[in-house]
């Protein structure tokens, strides 16, 4: 699918602010894909559609999670996590994108997971560091992203966990799995 068509489809699903965020994620993902020898077209499409379901009603997302036998642990965690796996499903069924690499990058862009592939890491990180993001630590994440994809993703996961802890919010187990996986690999260990 061509960029203009993809952007037109996603623009109808998003607010203007979220659409601008999506453009930033797309540009960042393409840059990261170039830097880390990943398929730029896949990175572009995954980035464009990463928030496709962001503004779907919670009841609709809950129903899809149940009907499609998605990870039912999601229902016990913040609704903010739901748009990623539901978005992957809707991008496949409504938009017609069948590439599992793209769909998985969309599915795991909020929670992360153990053994993420390079494209998944790129979308996870691009969402975290796109130019519109402004929060303490984002500049360090951007610097790390230039030289070490795993270190940058580890940094983002760690700061996400710390942020959620500071707000007394629950943390989805896959986010801990991502963090632990990258720490173990950094230490030369395998889980």
What does 23-80 look like in DSSP terms, one character per residue? HHHHHHHHHHHHHTT--HHHHHHHHHHTTTTTTS-HHHHHHHHHHTT--GGGGGS-GG
Within a domain: 33: yes
Q: What is the mean pLDDT of residues 84-99?
A: 98
| Residue 116: burial class (beta carbons within 10 Å; 0-12, 13-18, 19+) | buried
Within a domain: 23: yes
Number of domains in the chain: 1
Within a domain: 167: no
The range of the structural domain enclosing residue 67 comes to 3-134
Which tokens hold the place of 102?
């793209």
pLDDT tens-digit map of 62-87: 999 999 999 999 999 999 999 999 99
Within a domain: 125: yes
Dist CA 47 CA 54 (whole Å): 13
Within a domain: 152: no
Q: What CATH number is attached to the domain comprising 81? A: 1.10.3210.10
pLDDT class of 191 with cuts at 50, 70, 90: low
Within a domain: 110: yes
pLDDT class of 190 with cuts at 50, 70, 90: low
pLDDT tens-digit map of 134-182: 999 999 999 999 999 999 999 999 999 999 999 999 999 999 999 999 9
Within a domain: 155: no
């Amino acid at each position: 699918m061509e960029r203009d068509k993809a952007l037109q489809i996603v623009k109808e699903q998003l607010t203007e602010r979220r659409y601008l965020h999506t453009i930033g994620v797309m540009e960042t993902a393409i840059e990261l894909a170039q830097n880390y020898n990943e398929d730029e077209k896949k990175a572009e499409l995954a980035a464009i559609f990463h928030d496709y379901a962001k503004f779907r009603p919670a009841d609709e997302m809950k129903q899809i999670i149940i009907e499609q036998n998605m990870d039912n642990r999601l229902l016990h965690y913040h609704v903010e996590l739901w748009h990623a796996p539901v978005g992957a499903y809707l991008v496949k069924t409504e938009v017609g994108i069948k590439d599992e690499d793209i769909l998985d990058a969309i599915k795991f862009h909020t929670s992360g997971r153990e053994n993420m592939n390079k494209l998944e890491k790129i979308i996870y990180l691009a969402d975290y560091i796109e130019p519109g993001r402004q929060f303490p630590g984002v500049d360090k994440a951007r610097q790390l992203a230039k030289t070490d994809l795993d270190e940058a993703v580890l940094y983002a996961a760690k700061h996400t966990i710390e942020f959620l802890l500071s707000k007394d919010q629950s943390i989805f187990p896959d986010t801990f799995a991502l963090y632990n996986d990258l720490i173990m690999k950094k230490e030369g260990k395998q889980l």
